[in-house]
Amino acid sequence: MSSKGPTLTINSKTLLGETTPDGFNRTKRKYARLFLWLTSLLLLTSHPLLSLVTSTCAVYTMHGGTWFSHKNFKWMSASIISFCISLYSLTLSVESDFVDEERAYELKAVLEMKHRAAEMIWGGILLLCLGLTVKEQIDGVVARSSGMMVEKNKKQT
Protein backbone atom coordinates (compact mmCIF):
# COMPACT_ATOMS: atom_id res chain seq x y z
CA MET A 1 0.00 0.00 0.00
CA SER A 2 1.56 3.26 -1.06
CA SER A 3 0.40 6.77 -0.36
CA LYS A 4 0.95 9.47 -2.90
CA GLY A 5 0.53 12.40 -0.48
CA PRO A 6 3.18 14.01 1.68
CA THR A 7 4.11 12.22 4.87
CA LEU A 8 5.22 13.56 8.20
CA THR A 9 8.15 11.77 9.76
CA ILE A 10 8.72 12.20 13.46
CA ASN A 11 11.88 10.76 14.90
CA SER A 12 13.61 11.01 18.26
CA LYS A 13 15.60 14.09 17.18
CA THR A 14 12.39 15.98 16.40
CA LEU A 15 10.84 15.02 19.73
CA LEU A 16 13.96 16.04 21.65
CA GLY A 17 14.03 19.42 19.94
CA GLU A 18 17.27 18.84 18.07
CA THR A 19 15.76 19.78 14.72
CA THR A 20 13.24 22.46 13.92
CA PRO A 21 10.90 22.85 10.97
CA ASP A 22 11.79 25.29 8.19
CA GLY A 23 11.05 28.89 9.16
CA PHE A 24 10.60 28.07 12.86
CA ASN A 25 13.25 30.50 14.14
CA ARG A 26 12.40 33.11 11.51
CA THR A 27 8.80 33.21 12.76
CA LYS A 28 9.97 33.55 16.36
CA ARG A 29 12.25 36.45 15.40
CA LYS A 30 9.43 38.13 13.50
CA TYR A 31 7.10 38.03 16.51
CA ALA A 32 9.89 39.09 18.88
CA ARG A 33 10.63 42.10 16.65
CA LEU A 34 6.93 42.99 16.71
CA PHE A 35 6.95 42.94 20.52
CA LEU A 36 10.19 44.94 20.55
CA TRP A 37 8.66 47.60 18.26
CA LEU A 38 5.87 47.97 20.80
CA THR A 39 8.38 48.00 23.65
CA SER A 40 10.47 50.76 22.08
CA LEU A 41 7.42 52.92 21.41
CA LEU A 42 6.10 52.37 24.93
CA LEU A 43 9.49 53.22 26.43
CA LEU A 44 9.70 56.43 24.42
CA THR A 45 6.19 57.42 25.54
CA SER A 46 6.98 56.61 29.20
CA HIS A 47 4.76 53.58 29.79
CA PRO A 48 7.12 51.32 31.77
CA LEU A 49 4.52 48.77 32.91
CA LEU A 50 3.24 48.12 29.40
CA SER A 51 6.80 48.01 28.03
CA LEU A 52 7.62 45.44 30.72
CA VAL A 53 4.72 43.29 29.50
CA THR A 54 5.71 43.53 25.82
CA SER A 55 9.39 42.87 26.52
CA THR A 56 8.36 39.84 28.60
CA CYS A 57 6.38 38.62 25.59
CA ALA A 58 9.46 39.10 23.40
CA VAL A 59 11.65 37.11 25.81
CA TYR A 60 9.03 34.36 26.03
CA THR A 61 8.73 34.25 22.24
CA MET A 62 12.48 33.91 21.72
CA HIS A 63 13.21 31.45 24.55
CA GLY A 64 12.16 28.42 22.49
CA GLY A 65 14.40 29.19 19.52
CA THR A 66 17.90 28.02 18.72
CA TRP A 67 20.29 29.81 21.07
CA PHE A 68 23.41 29.35 18.99
CA SER A 69 22.10 31.25 15.98
CA HIS A 70 23.60 34.75 15.80
CA LYS A 71 20.27 36.21 14.64
CA ASN A 72 18.38 34.60 17.51
CA PHE A 73 21.07 35.62 19.97
CA LYS A 74 20.85 39.23 18.81
CA TRP A 75 17.07 39.46 19.30
CA MET A 76 17.12 37.45 22.54
CA SER A 77 19.74 39.85 23.91
CA ALA A 78 17.66 42.84 22.85
CA SER A 79 14.60 41.28 24.49
CA ILE A 80 16.41 40.61 27.77
CA ILE A 81 17.93 44.10 27.87
CA SER A 82 14.50 45.59 27.13
CA PHE A 83 13.02 43.61 29.99
CA CYS A 84 15.75 44.79 32.39
CA ILE A 85 15.44 48.44 31.32
CA SER A 86 11.63 48.29 31.60
CA LEU A 87 11.86 46.77 35.07
CA TYR A 88 14.47 49.36 36.13
CA SER A 89 12.34 52.18 34.76
CA LEU A 90 9.18 50.90 36.42
CA THR A 91 10.99 50.54 39.75
CA LEU A 92 12.36 54.08 39.65
CA SER A 93 9.01 55.46 38.54
CA VAL A 94 7.17 53.79 41.42
CA GLU A 95 9.86 54.87 43.88
CA SER A 96 9.59 58.48 42.73
CA ASP A 97 5.82 58.33 43.32
CA PHE A 98 6.44 57.41 46.97
CA VAL A 99 8.89 60.25 47.58
CA ASP A 100 7.37 63.35 49.15
CA GLU A 101 7.90 66.24 46.76
CA GLU A 102 8.01 68.87 49.51
CA ARG A 103 10.57 67.10 51.67
CA ALA A 104 12.84 65.48 49.06
CA TYR A 105 12.34 67.33 45.81
CA GLU A 106 15.88 66.65 44.61
CA LEU A 107 15.56 62.90 45.19
CA LYS A 108 12.24 62.82 43.34
CA ALA A 109 13.70 64.80 40.44
CA VAL A 110 16.77 62.54 40.22
CA LEU A 111 14.62 59.38 40.23
CA GLU A 112 12.36 60.75 37.50
CA MET A 113 15.34 61.91 35.46
CA LYS A 114 17.04 58.51 35.72
CA HIS A 115 13.99 56.54 34.68
CA ARG A 116 13.25 58.88 31.75
CA ALA A 117 16.88 58.79 30.61
CA ALA A 118 16.94 54.98 30.69
CA GLU A 119 13.68 54.84 28.74
CA MET A 120 14.76 57.39 26.14
CA ILE A 121 18.26 55.98 25.59
CA TRP A 122 17.30 52.30 25.30
CA GLY A 123 14.05 53.08 23.45
CA GLY A 124 16.06 55.07 20.90
CA ILE A 125 18.74 52.41 20.53
CA LEU A 126 16.11 49.70 20.12
CA LEU A 127 14.20 51.79 17.58
CA LEU A 128 17.44 52.33 15.64
CA CYS A 129 18.21 48.59 15.59
CA LEU A 130 14.69 47.74 14.46
CA GLY A 131 14.77 50.45 11.81
CA LEU A 132 18.07 49.14 10.45
CA THR A 133 16.56 45.67 10.27
CA VAL A 134 13.70 47.01 8.16
CA LYS A 135 16.21 48.81 5.92
CA GLU A 136 18.20 45.58 5.47
CA GLN A 137 15.04 43.72 4.50
CA ILE A 138 14.08 46.42 2.00
CA ASP A 139 17.61 46.42 0.53
CA GLY A 140 17.45 42.62 0.21
CA VAL A 141 14.16 42.79 -1.68
CA VAL A 142 15.48 45.52 -3.97
CA ALA A 143 18.70 43.57 -4.64
CA ARG A 144 16.78 40.40 -5.44
CA SER A 145 14.37 42.21 -7.75
CA SER A 146 17.18 44.07 -9.53
CA GLY A 147 19.04 40.75 -9.92
CA MET A 148 15.93 39.29 -11.51
CA MET A 149 15.71 42.24 -13.88
CA VAL A 150 19.36 41.77 -14.93
CA GLU A 151 18.75 38.05 -15.57
CA LYS A 152 15.61 38.89 -17.58
CA ASN A 153 17.55 41.39 -19.70
CA LYS A 154 20.32 38.82 -20.34
CA LYS A 155 17.76 36.27 -21.53
CA GLN A 156 16.16 38.80 -23.88
CA THR A 157 19.46 39.72 -25.58
DSSP string, 1-45: ----S------HHHHTTSS--TTHHHHHHHHHHHHHHHHHHHHHT
Tell me how many degrees the CA angle 93-83-67 measures, rounded to the nearest 5: 170
Q: pLDDT in tens for each of the 157 residues of the chain?
A: 555 655 544 444 444 555 666 667 888 889 999 999 999 999 999 999 999 999 999 999 988 777 677 888 889 999 999 999 999 999 999 999 898 888 889 999 999 999 999 999 999 999 999 999 988 888 888 777 776 666 666 666 6
Mean model confidence pLDDT for the chain: 83
The structure's pTM equals: 0.75
CA distances from 17 to 10, 12, 58, 76, 137 (A): 11, 9, 21, 18, 29
**pLDDT (tens digit per residue) in 6-38:** 554 444 444 455 566 666 788 888 999 999 999
Q: What is the residue extent of each domain of the chain?
A: 24-150
Taking only the tens place, the pLDDT of each residue in 40-52 is: 999 999 999 999 9
